[in-house]
A and B are shown apart, each in its own frame.
Chain A
Amino acid sequence: MKQKIYFASILLFFFSLIFSCQPKYSKLVKSERAYVVINDSTTTSDVRFDSLIAPYKRIIDAEMNEVLIISETPMVKDQPEGLLGNMVADIVLKKTLEKLPINVQEEPIFCVLNNGGLRTSLPQGEITRRKIYELMPFENEIVVLTLSPENAQELMNYIARSGGVPVAGIKMGIQKNEAVNIFVNNNPFDKNKNYKIVTSDYLAEGGDKMFFFKNPINKEIVSLKIRDVLIEYMKEEHKKGNTLNAQKDGRIYIVENNEIEK
């Protein structure tokens, strides 16, 4: 005990030396940081809050607990490509082409979304309407933009710089911030062609700094919400007895890693 006090006084002496020149303000002298996981006994629910939530929860559960489809696999977002992004982009492109029939050989078309717009992961097993609301909580609508070859090229490089975003109908490599080996609808990228881009109204307005979307050659409002087409597709497939699945198929791949700006 004596030893402890002895050591303490030495330390206190040092501290007072250090801080004697700053009488007025506090100073950080020690930082102790730990990582504590709270267990069940310390984080049991507060019943008062349960009852505050209950009336809201009842309304939501009634509509949101509906099972839309069964997923074969958990899906999370990832870069350069991820199961979740591939699945969403594929459905958005498919549903858009159902609504707006386009000859893709004459008018190349592909889908570009953003990782920031995918707001949660999907579990394996039952996918509820609630999960799709959590995945896509925004009221974003699908738009189809026609871009000049220059703007399309700029979009490709944006995708490359970002390390990969959810896409469908396109295949490309990323080599040090640049898009390489680009194929759209299985045809090599043609610098003399306009391209149609299926995306969200949020991105079309320049969201996520996709400013090259701001002055397109043409802009078509499809009048479909992204969330609605996801839900519709899943219900249709479920009805047919199909399950939900997704693959990583190398639609975006790394040739050489991006350099990080300093």
Chain B
Amino acid sequence: MNNRRIFLKQALAAGTAIVAFPVDALESYYKKELIKITVLHTNDVHSHIEPFPANDPKFGGLGGTSRRAALIRKIRSEEKNVLLLDAGDVFQGTPYFNFFGGELEFKIMSEMQYDACTIGNHDFDNGIEGLVKMLPHANFPFICSNYDFSNTEMNNKTIQYKTFLYDGIKVGVFGLGVELEGLVPKKLFKETQYLDPVKQAAYQAHLLKKDLQCDLVICLSHLGFRYQNKKISDVELAKRSKNIDLIIGGHTHTLLNEPLLYKNSDGKEVIVAQVGWAGIRLGKIDFYFEPKSKRKFVEGTSLVIDKNVSNA
């Protein structure tokens, strides 16, 4: 289960000892002092409470919330600083939503101790009022920085950002939703105003990084990974952004085997992550900070929630 060990073994096997030696030594040197922050993430779970049956043509035997809960509990027992996030589209996809409107989905996420969630287009599927009705079942905040809900029942039910403090390391999270026009029927999203995600991201990320001095800025996005046309996506946002370290994405159900790195407009690296859909994987990204200068390492993995043993 030690990913670093697996990585090192692979590095040793593939590369030379000259490469592997200092990394190993550096690691043991750093591990004593570094503050580790583990970011766990899901997206587009779409009411998939139970695992896919074994005979599913694409995802046989994968997923399931009871297993995800067990996995998260195990990680929490091993890691001190865990941030658990969801990038939206909690709702719609199995009869659990048709029957109970999202009640069980939010109860389960609350029990798993999610720290925050953003709002996906399908979270409007029972209308604004359908979402509002379910909010009492969620004990975590909904972070969305580019939907203006002032003229809707959702007014004051979301926050624009949230900061978290772990052993002196400050983490800021903001959220972005996808354009609703042409995607969600107007009668469902009503007077929700969609604001330009690039502008809102610039504002929120600057606020979090510069004014609030966050060491790590995370964008929880339901924009989608990447498009063939010019539609704004996580990859586009990453390239055009400043002050964002990690974009946790959703909407396009993209299965990335590892988070990808892009250069932002300042030439700094932004991590873009997304873990498919339906809870078949749990994303895990480990950041290592040095307490004084707050340098950090990052480790990104994707954990498949599966029955079978194998290293893919």
A residues contacting B by CB (< 8 A) are: 3-5, 7-8, 10-12, 15, 19, 23-40, 42-50, 52-53, 56-57, 59-60, 63-64, 74-76, 119-125, 130, 133-134, 137-138, 202, 205-209, 211, 260-261
**Cβ–Cβ contact B300 & A37, under 8 A:** no
Binds A, one of B100-108, B140-148, B190-198, B199-207: B100-108
Measured CB to CB, the nearest residue on chain A to B311 is A37
* Complex partner residue of A46 from B67, B97, B183, B310, CB under 8 angstroms: B67
Measured CB to CB, the nearest residue on chain B to A134 is B94
Query: Does B268 sit at the interface, judged by CB under 8 A?
Result: yes
Nearest chain A CB to B236's CB is how many angstroms away? 12
Assuming the A-B contacts A27-B295, A35-B301, A46-B69, are A123 and B306 also in contact, with contact meaning beta carbons closer than 8 angstroms in the complex?
Answer: no
Q: Which residues of B contact A48 (CB under 8 A)?
A: 69, 111
Distance A7 CA – B64 CA, assembled complex (angstroms):
45
Distance A120 CA – B311 CA, assembled complex (angstroms):
26
* Complex partner residue of A37 from B26, B215, B268, B309, CB under 8 angstroms: B309
A-B contact list, 20 entries, CB within 8 Å: A11-B22, A19-B293, A19-B295, A24-B294, A27-B268, A28-B245, A29-B297, A31-B269, A36-B3, A37-B311, A43-B305, A45-B70, A49-B66, A50-B66, A56-B99, A57-B50, A64-B95, A76-B58, A119-B46, A121-B57
* Complex partner residue of A28 from B49, B70, B268, CB under 8 angstroms: B268
Measured CB to CB, the nearest residue on chain B to A28 is B269
Measured CB to CB, the nearest residue on chain A to B185 is A205
Q: Which residues of B contact A60 (CB under 8 A)?
A: 95-96, 99
Distance A31 CA – B23 CA, assembled complex (angstroms):
12
**Cβ–Cβ contact A38 & B183, under 8 A:** no
**Cβ–Cβ contact B67 & A25, under 8 A:** no
Nearest chain A CB to B259's CB is how many angstroms away? 6
Nearest chain A CB to B138's CB is how many angstroms away? 14
**Cβ–Cβ contact B182 & A38, under 8 A:** no
Measured CB to CB, the nearest residue on chain A to B271 is A31
Q: Which residues of A contact B79 (CB under 8 A)?
A: none
* Complex partner residue of B22 from A7, A28, A64, A208, CB under 8 angstroms: A7
Assuming the A-B contacts A8-B25, A37-B312, are A43 and B301 also in contact, with contact meaning beta carbons closer than 8 angstroms in the complex?
Answer: no
Assuming the A-B contacts A133-B98, A138-B125, are A33 and B67 also in contact, with contact meaning beta carbons closer than 8 angstroms in the complex?
Answer: no
* Complex partner residue of B182 from A11, A36, A57, A208, CB under 8 angstroms: A208
Distance A28 CA – B261 CA, assembled complex (angstroms):
11
Majority SS of interface residues in chain B?
Answer: mixed
* Complex partner residue of B24 from A4, A15, A34, A261, CB under 8 angstroms: A4
Measured CB to CB, the nearest residue on chain B to A30 is B297
**Cβ–Cβ contact B182 & A137, under 8 A:** no
Nearest 9 A/B pairs, CB to CB = A4-B25, A7-B22, A45-B66, A39-B309, A33-B258, A74-B57, A8-B25, A123-B55, A46-B69
How many A-B residue pairs lie within 8 Å, measured between CB atoms? 221
Measured CB to CB, the nearest residue on chain B to A50 is B66
**Cβ–Cβ contact B3 & A34, under 8 A:** yes
Q: Annotate B4-42 by CB proximity to A: 1 below 8 A, 0 otherwise.
A: 101100100000000001101110010000000000000
Q: Which residues of B contact A32 (CB under 8 A)?
A: 3-4, 7, 297-300
**Cβ–Cβ contact B295 & A34, under 8 A:** no
Q: Which residues of B contact A133 (CB under 8 A)?
A: 94-95, 98
Query: Does B209 sit at the interface, judged by CB under 8 A?
Result: yes
Measured CB to CB, the nearest residue on chain B to A19 is B295
Distance A124 CA – B307 CA, assembled complex (angstroms):
21
Nearest chain A CB to B262's CB is how many angstroms away? 12
Distance A63 CA – B98 CA, assembled complex (angstroms):
12
* Complex partner residue of A40 from B68, B104, B245, B309, CB under 8 angstroms: B309
**Cβ–Cβ contact B301 & A36, under 8 A:** yes
Distance A50 CA – B50 CA, assembled complex (angstroms):
10
Nearest chain B CB to A186's CB is how many angstroms away? 31
Distance A261 CA – B229 CA, assembled complex (angstroms):
5
Query: Does B216 sit at the interface, judged by CB under 8 A?
Result: yes
With A31-B269, A35-B311, A37-B306 known, 18 other A-B pairs at CB within 8 A are: A7-B21, A27-B268, A28-B268, A28-B298, A34-B6, A34-B300, A35-B257, A35-B301, A36-B302, A43-B306, A50-B66, A56-B96, A63-B95, A64-B95, A137-B95, A137-B98, A138-B92, A207-B184
Nearest chain A CB to B126's CB is how many angstroms away? 10
Q: Which residues of A contact B107 (CB under 8 A)?
A: 52
* Complex partner residue of B70 from A11, A12, A35, A44, CB under 8 angstroms: A44
**Cβ–Cβ contact A35 & B95, under 8 A:** no
Query: Does B157 sit at the interface, judged by CB under 8 A?
Result: no
